[in-house]
Structure 1
């Protein structure tokens, strides 16, 4: 049986385009599900901090943060947020920047690695992004993250221990080092089978196309040795 296509996704919980990219990837892969020989795919999320200097408890709203961090006029920031909200809506996501709680995301990334070790990373990634962009939940404090971990079926005590001990901080840093080695300086960024790099929140159709292409290449590569020995 052909091995699953590996899709490695570098993203940040606090990146609005990353959630859109995640949803478009899911929709693209869903388009291939009814193919006669549907691609099998394994998705892994990797850590990328857009603003590692952000405090856990930021005093202000998203406009305050972006205006200060990027030095942009507040009116321009408002236009940017309205634009991304419109794009998110097309992906079925109802962003709420008016209630969003900007925070440092390193602990959320540690939690994603904890979830990965327990086979629940996809569910945890979805829960964190939904909590942040749609529900106005805090995703920077340990108590809040433990509650979210429990909501996807992870052991709350074990999650708290992992976060308080920073057990997975080295995994976060390893992801960031790999991103630097790949030359990734913006997210979302998708690495397909360690060969193809896809930058940005591409449309669902684009993800469907590349999944089918890589799967076909896999099939052809497996058939060639068989033909040579026949």
Structure 2
């Protein structure tokens, strides 16, 4: 049982439940990891755009954006308050008043850039925090290049890559695979290539699935 359990995750930088789900998954992995027979877990993120028609230069508030998307105005405030509370329960301090809406296709390209250099998980975390907690710009080349420097990347090379859409084909490949899987919402987790978990489930749910996968491997002598 030396092979790691692979978890493929489809998510978007601009998805509040994706960041919450990330934390819950991490907590679930930690819960599972205390087992004597725990198997290592490997995570890979895949691109998914919740709102690909979002303009790069949208200057309105989050409430205005949601209203533009068809959410009833009277429901937006309570909804954001609820999401903020759930985020806080897993240690995330969402700052919706300062959130800067962005088209995320370039951010997904940066995550693929980081993946090619062994820092995909770090890039994913940095961009989510920048968007939901720090009110940073994650939709422009300059904004992303600034964040990439914090991860240790060469700014000029990141700018070159994003201007050339170097990893756009990889983003589209992720999205096409999501279509093949029938994924219509995120976060979506595919565990060991056969179990799908949709949404920001509790940590105990992820731990349970990991234990089930590990037990099944023992049964088949893997």
TM-score (norm 1): 0.94
Q: How does 1:162-181 map to 2 (within 5 A)?
A: 162-181=161-180
Contact 1:110-1:169 at 8 Å conserved across structures: yes
Deviations 1:185-209 (A, max 9, x none): 0000000111011000000111111
Which residue pairs with 1:135 in the alignment? 134
Structure 2 residues not aligned, in runs of 5+: none
Distance in 2, matches of 1:154 and 1:205, equals 36
Distance in 2, matches of 1:155 and 1:44, equals 23
Structure 1 residues not aligned, in runs of 5+: 224-230
Distance in 1, matches of 2:104 and 2:190, equals 22
Q: How does 1:3-152 map to 2 (within 5 A)?
A: 3-69=3-69, 71-152=70-151
Residue 78 of structure 1: SS of its match in structure 2? Answer: helix
Per-residue deviation, 1:105: 0.3
Q: Aligned residues, how many?
A: 222
Per-residue deviation, 1:216: 1.8
Judge which range, 169-178 or 204-213, deviates more.
204-213
Judge which range, 169-178 or 72-81, deviates more.
72-81
Contact 1:28-1:208 at 8 Å conserved across structures: yes
| Runs (4+) off by over 4 Å | none
Structural RMSD (CA): 1.1
Deviations 1:103-123 (A, max 9, x none): 100000000101100000000
Which residue pairs with 2:210 in the alignment? 211
Per-residue deviation, 1:84: 0.6
Residue 46 of structure 1: SS of its match in structure 2? Answer: strand
Q: Pick the structure with greater CA Rg.
A: 1
Per-residue deviation, 1:74: 1.8
